[in-house]
Structures are given as C-alpha cells and as structure tokens.
Amino acid sequence: MTTLFISTASSLTRVPAAKAWPKVFMKPCLTQQRQTGQELIGCEINREPPNLGSEAFHQKMGFDKIAEASLPNGKTVGYWIKKLS
C-alpha cells in the first residue's frame, strides 16, 4: 500500500529563513520518509493565487505535478509528488 506524506504550502511559509528551509525541513523529511519505507511524498501548491516560488522549489527538489483542482473557495491548487524509491 502506498502512503503519502502531505505538506501544505501554508505550513511551509512559517519556517524561518525561507531560503534555508530545504536544509532545515525537506532533506531530513525525505530521508525519514525513505527510512520508514514510504514510496511517495506529496504536496499541494496554490496556482490561484499563484505560488511560483513554491512551484520552482519543488521542481528543483524533484517533485512532479500530477493534477490540478479548482476548490469551492475559488482557489486553484496543483498536486505534486516525488518518488522516494
């Protein structure tokens, strides 16, 4: 069975020193998820209103956009995953 670890864009914006947060959060998170046998990690990124910085960062970290959805609140989001195995 595949399990996803989900991280929302709102939680990422609360991390201090935004340019350094990959070292603080993402790399240890990916390592931990690999060690626990997870196959995928996923996130949701705003498209409307846009969050281009998050999209660029996740692309750089090896995430691929797999879907997009329009939410009832008027936002459009993209769903991104990274294969860990």
% of residues, the chain, pLDDT over 90 = 36
pLDDT at site 44:
93
pLDDT tens digits, 32-43: 888 888 899 899
Beta bridge partners of 65: 80
pLDDT tens digits, 58-84: 998 899 999 999 999 999 999 999 999
Task: Kindly tell me if the per-residue pLDDT of 4 is higher than 50.
Answer: no
pTM to 2 decimals? 0.70
Domain ranges, ordered by start, for the chain: 6-83
Q: Among residues 39, 43, 40, which one has the least CA distance to residue 57?
A: 43
Where does 6-83 sit in CATH, by number? Answer: 3.40.630.30
